[in-house]
Chains A and B, each alone.
Chain A
Amino acid sequence: MELLLIFMLLFMILAGIVALWTDELLSAVIAVGAVGVGTSVAFLLLGAPDLAITQIVVEVVALVLLIKVTIGVGVRTMSGMPSPKRLRLAAAVTVLLLLVMVRSFTGLPEFGSPVMERVDDAPSIVYLEEGLERTGSANQVMSVLLDFRAYDTLGEATVIFTAVFGALVLLRKKGKKDREDDDGGEDEE
């Protein structure tokens, strides 16, 4: 079980490196799709079928979006590799961050023993024990998402609304440049 998870994680790291390494943008997009599918399988192994379904569907739509932005406009390869100076800087920052993260993991509980077992009156235990009575929902993830912590979901709906609104504004008929040429101002349409 844990071995399978480690195998999936190694596969995802490999796919991520391929996605960054390759010159072909289509290969990069497909490799990032492999990372997403690996995440989905890992969620399934970790006992989160809700997340596995969501992740795999989201990954498909994200792939369609990314393919639209690469092949859809006729860009197949990227020009030139990053400069060695930049690569060295990136490597230094990454190694430093990795060391900090590994150092901070010593304070976490072992894999397989969640935080909710160590704390008395952890909210997760309360959700698991009383979720069915208090919300009537058999799926405890949904009872947390839409009943105990519905505020977060409301905020999430707001974020989606804002993101889509921003995307639609960016895709309007006239860009900012054209508008400035027309009337030279920043007035609203």
Chain B
Amino acid sequence: MNNRSLIVSRVSRWVAPLIFVFGIYVALYGHLSPGGGFPGGVILSSAFILTLLARGRKATLERLPFGVAKKLDAVGALLFLCIALFGLVVTGVFFANFIHQYLPGEPLRLFSGGTIMPANIAIGLKVAASLFLVMFALSALRISTDEQDEPIRTLEDK
């Protein structure tokens, strides 16, 4: 794949970090402004998808290796479950907002929502890693239409 445009690859090098930072902002300020873990996670993954489309698989793997993305996916899901279980342990109610009950922050400030902000971070991680995994696996797939028994190239061939 040497037909990538130089302009696209250079510009994406500048734009991808900005998208990444915007994704973090959307996920962190989900309890104050429109946004939250879901759109934040999708924006985070779209930063990596931009790198993947514009600069290829090798440049993307330098920034986010495939194994790390798999682990981040699991960590996000487990973190969300852990928040729920902590609520069960501390107050006796599953998914209780225990931080807000014991340490209520000042309303309308960043540290105010109790467990909502950690939960947003967990969901953002999970969604971002999942979408990145799917897109990367799809991009690694090459399909040969003419030869039926030629195996398709997937991740392990690299």
Interface residues in chain A, defined as those with a beta carbon under 8 Å from any beta carbon in chain B: 49-50, 52-54, 57-58, 60-61, 64-65, 68, 73-74, 132, 134-139, 141-143, 145-147, 150-151, 153-154, 157, 160-161, 164, 167-168, 171-175, 178
Contact = CB atoms under 8 A, between A and B. Distances in A.
B149 to A, nearest CB: 8
Given A73-B143, A137-B112, A157-B123, 12 more contacts: A52-B34, A53-B34, A64-B49, A73-B145, A135-B113, A137-B113, A138-B31, A138-B107, A141-B36, A153-B119, A167-B134, A171-B141
Contacts of B97: 134-136, 147
14 contacts: A53-B34, A54-B39, A60-B46, A135-B113, A137-B113, A139-B34, A139-B35, A145-B36, A146-B116, A157-B80, A157-B123, A161-B130, A164-B130, A167-B137
Given A58-B42, A173-B154, A139 B32 contact: yes
B127 A160 contact: yes
B137 A137 contact: no
A58 B104 CA distance: 34
A3 to B, nearest CB: 25
Nearest to B49: A64
A54 B30 CA distance: 12
B133 interface: yes
Contacts of A50: 34-36, 39
A61 to B, nearest CB: 6
A22 B110 CA distance: 49
A26 B120 CA distance: 35
Contacts of B155: 171, 173
Nearest to B35: A53
A174 B123 CA distance: 31
B101 to A, nearest CB: 9
B84 A150 contact: yes
A70 to B, nearest CB: 12
Contacts of B154: 171-173
Contacts of B137: 167-168, 171
Contact of A142 (B36, B100, B107, B108): B36
Sorted nearest first, the 9 A-B pairs with minimum C-beta distance are A49-B34, A137-B31, A150-B95, A137-B113, A164-B130, A54-B39, A171-B137, A57-B42, A173-B154
Contacts of B68: none
Contacts of B145: 73-74
Contacts of A58: 42
Given A135-B116, A139-B31, A53 B46 contact: no
B53 interface: yes
Given A68-B138, A168-B133, A172-B154, A132 B36 contact: no
A61 B138 CA distance: 13
B34 to A, nearest CB: 4
Interface in B117-135: 119-120, 123, 126-127, 130-131, 133-135
Nearest to A158: B77
